[in-house]
């Protein structure tokens, strides 16, 4: 457990940027340093997860910006909300993008304008894993959004990411297509909190066991006869 508070939450994106660029950098650095320490402690894989409320809205704003998509193409209901609340959610995100005008050529600016500290920390974790050759298991839509920004900073990032599952959020498939990743699981999950990454871990262990322990035809001296 590491206590790395930056601020008491981000700001209202309708009226100001979510955070300063300095705090955006700080959030990435915290994730980077924490991941580097975990790797130094002997961990051979990093699993992502976050705890947040409303961060699917921030993630939708990021994905819409970075992939040049409309809000309607990206936004889903997230938590269990009514149709009226869903329409309001989409309008709020449209208003945020109109007010903040994030520029897809400036990933740090996008994070500072419409992101969250947990998204920044996730970006840092991904970059740390990529730099050290340690695979990073993505979770849901929040880590999808972080991956899109991470790719803008570290173009080869997708080579080091494992998509644990396809999130139930509408924009999730667009992100995985952009990254060139295929999800290990498709369970319609929209929970976050590392749940998808943990569920996929057992499958990853099984895949590793097959690759390491399964005999090849050459090992068995197996030959075909005409």
By annotation, the residues acting in catalysis are 193
Cα-based angle 148, 149, 155 (whole degrees, multiple of 5): 80
| CA 127/CA 25 separation, integer angstroms | 13
The residues with which 162 forms a beta bridge, in sequence order, are 137
Buried b (16+ CB within 10 A) or exposed e, 29-60: ebbbbbbbebbeeeeebbbbbbeeeebbbbbb
Token digits of residue 8: 């008491």
Secondary structure (3-state) at 138: strand
């Amino acid at each position: 457990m590491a206590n790395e508070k930056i601020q008491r939450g981000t700001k209202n994106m309708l009226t100001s940027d979510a955070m300063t660029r300095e705090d955006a950098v700080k959030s990435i650095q915290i994730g980077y340093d924490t991941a580097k320490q975990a790797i130094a402690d002997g961990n051979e894989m990093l699993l992502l997860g976050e705890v947040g409320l409303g961060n699917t809205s921030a993630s939708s704003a990021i994905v819409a910006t970075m992939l040049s998509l409309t809000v309607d193409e990206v936004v889903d209901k997230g938590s269990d909300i009514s149709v009226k609340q869903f329409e309001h959610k989409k309008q709020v995100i449209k208003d945020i993008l109109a007010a903040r005008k994030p520029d897809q050529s400036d990933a740090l600016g996008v994070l500072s304008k419409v992101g969250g500290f947990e998204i920044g920390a996730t970006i840092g974790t991904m970059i740390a894993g990529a730099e050290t050759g340690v695979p990073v298991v993505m979770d849901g839509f929040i880590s999808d959004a972080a991956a899109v920004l991470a790719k803008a900073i570290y173009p080869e990032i997708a080579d080091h990411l494992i998509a644990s599952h396809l999130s139930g959020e509408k924009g999730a498939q667009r992100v995985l297509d952009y990254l060139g990743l295929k999800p290990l699981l498709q369970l319609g999950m929209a929970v976050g909190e590392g749940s998808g990454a943990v569920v996929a871990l057992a499958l990853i262990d099984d895949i590793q066991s097959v690759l390491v322990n399964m005999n090849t035809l050459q090992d068995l001296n197996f030959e075909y006869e005409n």
